[in-house]
Structure 1
Amino acid sequence: MSTTTVHRINLDNPLSDNSSVSQTELPFTFQQVKAAIPSECFAPNVWRSLAYFFADAAIIAGLYAAAIAIDAWWFYPIFWFATGTMFWAFFVVGHDCGHGSFSRSKWLNNLIGHLTHIPILVPYHGWRISHRTHHQNTGNIDTDESWYPVTASEYKGMDWIGKLIRFDALLFAYPFYLFKRSPARTTASHFMPNNDLFRESETNDIITSTACWLMMVGFLGWLGFTYGFLFLFKFYIVPYLIFVVWLDLVTYLHHTEADIPWYRGKDWFFFKGALSTIDRDYGIFNDIHHNIGTHVAHHLFIGIPHYYLKTATEAIKPVLGDYYRVSSEPIWKSFFTSQKACKVVPDEGTTVYYHNQV
C-alpha cells in the first residue's frame, strides 16, 4: 500500500508546480503545446454548454416517453442501450462541470454537475475531487487515482474478489470504486469526508453530494416499492448498468495500452505523465458522448470544453509528434487486447510498461 504523497498541482497553471518544470527530456515545452491551440478553445461558451445539457436531457426524456408509450418487450433492449448511452453522455456534460470547463461560474458548474450526476448515482463532489487527483497524478503508479497499474507483488496479495472486480468484471467496477476505491490504495468512500481522498475544507461539498445521492436512492426505492421491481428494472436498473459499462470501458481505454509508459519517483512530472493517455475512435458514438475519446488534449488542458477538443487535438498533433498516441483499432478489439496483455507492471523501475505475466 503506497504512502507516497499525492501531488496537488494547480491544473490551471501546471508549471507553477516544481514537478512540472523538469521537462528538458521532451523535445517541446508545455508552453509550446499550449501556444499551438487557438485561444478561443480555452473560453467556455455557457450557452453552448447549456445547449448540450438540455439536448441530452430532452433525448433522455424522449426515450422514456417512447418506452412508456410503446411498452413492448421488443423495444426495451433498444431503450436500454440508448438510454444507458445517453446517461453516459449526461455524465460527460457533468465532467466538464467538474473541470470548470462548462462555464466560468462555480455555482452553475455545481448545479449542472449535480443535475447530471445525481440521477445516475454519481456523488458529484466526491467524484469531482478524486477525478482532480487523477488529473494531477496521471501516469504516476504510486499516486494516480484511476485505472493505474497493479504491480506484480500487489497482484499476488490481492484477494479473489479484488482480482475479479479489477481484471474480470472491470466493466462493472465503478460502483465498487465509489464505495471502496481501487486496489493498492487506502480504502476510502466517495460518500464520506473523513478519508485521504478529501481535504477538511471539502467536507461540506462531500456532505452535500452524499445527501443528494441518498435522496436519489430514496426516490428509486419509492419507485420500486410503489410500482414493483420489474418497473424499476425496466426503467432504471438496466440503463444504469449500461451507463456503468460505458464509463468503465471508456475510462479504462483512456489509460490502458501496452505501449503507454508509467512512472515512479523523480522520473514522473505532470507534463510527461499527462501524455500517458491515448485517443480512441468510437465511431458513431463520438458525437453522442461528446468526443470524450479525444483524451490527450483534455489531460494536458482540462479547461478546454468538450466541444473544442477536436480543434485542440488537431492543433497539438504537429507539436507532439510521436508523443501523441491515437488508436483507430475497433474499440472492443482494443478492450480485449488490453485486458489480456495489460495485467501488471514490474515492482522495480522508474519507467515501466504493462505485461501479462502474473
Structure 2
Amino acid sequence: MNKATVSLDSLNDAELDVLERNIAGKYMHMVPWGVVVWGIGNLIAWLAVWPLVLMGIIPLWLGFILATLNVALSYLPSHEAQHNIIASKGQPLRWLNELVGHLSTIPLVLPYRVLRYTHYEHHSHTNDPQLDPDFNNHANSGWHFLWKSIMNRQPGSSRSKAYPETLKRTGNEHMILDAIIYQGVYLVIMFTLAWAGYAIEAALLWWLPKQIATTYIAYYLSWAPHHPGKEQGRYTDTRGFKSRLGNLLSMGMQYHIIHHLYPRIPLSLTPAAYRELKPILQRRACNL
C-alpha cells in the first residue's frame, strides 16, 4: 500500500469529495482553442474535398478516404460546445461556442440543438433503459454492436425514435423541426447530385462516410465506455478502458469516465485529469 493510498484511506467521504473536486477544477475553465480550429477547419477541409474530386484534382478513392476521416472527426468539437466548454452563457466567446457547435456536425447531418438536449438526458439518465436516449447502442459484444448499429438505422427502429421521444418528453418537441430541415436539405443535395450525374461521388463523399462515421463514433463514444451498461450511478455508469487502437484513434474515449464525472473538462485534458484522479476513482471502486 503506497503513501497516496494510505492518505486517501484516512479521508472521510466529505473530505474525499473536496479533494476530488479540487483536482478536477484544475482542468476546467479554459478555452480549448484546438477544438475551435478542429471544428471549423475540419468542416472547411470536408467541403474542399468536393471540388477537388469533382474537378479531377484528386481521385475519388482518395476523396472517399479524406471525407470519411472528416465526417468521423466532425462530432467531438460539437460535443465540447454542447457542454459549454468553449464558453458558457453570458461569456464573451459564447457566440464562438455556438458557432462551433452548429457548424462542426454538418457533415453528419445532425443538428446541434437536438444533439445538445438529448445528450444532456444521456448524462442525467446514463444506462437507464427508459430514459437514456443512447441506451439502444448497448450490445453484448463489439460484433453485436456492429449489427445493432446497422439495424438502428433502419426505418422504425427504436434508435430512430429515441431522440424525437426524448425531445417530446423534455418539452423540446419544437427542435424536431431542426432534424427535419437537416434531413430535407441533405436529401435535396443528394438527389440533385445524382440527377446531375454525380451519384457515385455523392455516395462516396457523403453517404458512405456518414454511415462509417456514425458507427465509429457510436462505438467509441457510446458502446465502449458504457459496456456492459448495467450499472447506474455517478461512479458506476461509465468505465475506463484500453483500446487496441490507442487513445487517439479511439477518439480520447479511454478516459470517458472523466467526462461523465466532470463534463466541463476539455477532451484534451481528460488523460491528465484521469491520471491524477485515478487513486480516488479506485477508492470509489470505479471500473477502470
When the two structures are superposed, what TM-score results if normalisation uses the length of structure 2? 0.75
Q: CA deviation at 1:166?
A: 6.8
Counterpart of 1:50 in structure 2 is 36
Equivalences, count: 268
Q: Does 1:297 align with 2:263?
A: no
Counterpart of 1:124 in structure 2 is 112
Counterpart of 1:318 in structure 2 is 279
Q: Does 1:97 align with 2:75?
A: no
Q: Take 1:231 and 1:197, find their aligned partners in 2: how far apart are those partners?
A: 34
Q: CA deviation at 1:114?
A: 2.3
Name the amino acid aligned to 1:254: P
Name the amino acid aligned to 1:55: G
Q: Does 1:246 align with 2:216?
A: yes
Name the amino acid aligned to 2:217: L
Q: Take 1:209 and 1:30, find their aligned partners in 2: how far apart are those partners?
A: 40
Change in CA separation of 1:28 and 1:321 when aligned onto 2, cut-off 3 Å: farther
CA contact (8 A) 1:125 1:209 kept: no
Q: Take 2:80 and 2:64, find their aligned partners in 1: how far apart are those partners?
A: 25
Where in structure 2 are there 5+ consecutive unaligned residues? 1-11
Aligned-residue CA RMSD (Å): 3.7
CA contact (8 A) 2:43 2:107 kept: no
Name the amino acid aligned to 1:42: M
Q: Take 2:110 and 2:244, find their aligned partners in 1: how far apart are those partners?
A: 23
Percent identity over the alignment is 15
Counterpart of 1:170 in structure 2 is 148
- Deviation digits for residues 34-71 of structure 1 (CA, Å, limit 9, x no counterpart): 222252x2114164432222332344345546545455
Counterpart of 1:279 in structure 2 is 241
Q: Does 1:188 align with 2:161?
A: yes
Which has the bigger relative contact order, CA under 8 A and spacing at least 6? 1
- Deviation digits for residues 174-195 of structure 1 (CA, Å, limit 9, x no counterpart): 5359x7434xxxx8363x5xx4
- Deviation digits for residues 270-303 of structure 1 (CA, Å, limit 9, x no counterpart): x2344x323343646x446752342010011111
Change in CA separation of 1:174 and 1:132 when aligned onto 2, cut-off 3 Å: farther
Higher share of residues assigned helix: 2
Counterpart of 1:335 in structure 2 is none
Q: Take 1:37 and 1:56, find their aligned partners in 2: how far apart are those partners?
A: 29
Where in structure 1 are there 5+ consecutive unaligned residues? 1-24, 156-164, 327-358
Q: CA deviation at 1:253?
A: 1.2
Counterpart of 2:126 in structure 1 is 138
Could you tell me which of 6, 14, 19 is aligned with 1:32?
Answer: 19
Q: Take 1:310 and 1:196, find their aligned partners in 2: how far apart are those partners?
A: 31
Q: CA deviation at 1:103?
A: 2.5
Counterpart of 1:207 in structure 2 is 177
Q: Does 1:112 align with 2:100?
A: yes
Q: Does 1:224 align with 2:185?
A: no
Name the amino acid aligned to 1:53: G
Change in CA separation of 1:218 and 1:296 when aligned onto 2, cut-off 3 Å: same
CA contact (8 A) 1:134 1:144 kept: yes
Change in CA separation of 1:294 and 1:72 when aligned onto 2, cut-off 3 Å: same
Change in CA separation of 1:196 and 1:94 when aligned onto 2, cut-off 3 Å: closer
CA contact (8 A) 2:235 2:286 kept: no
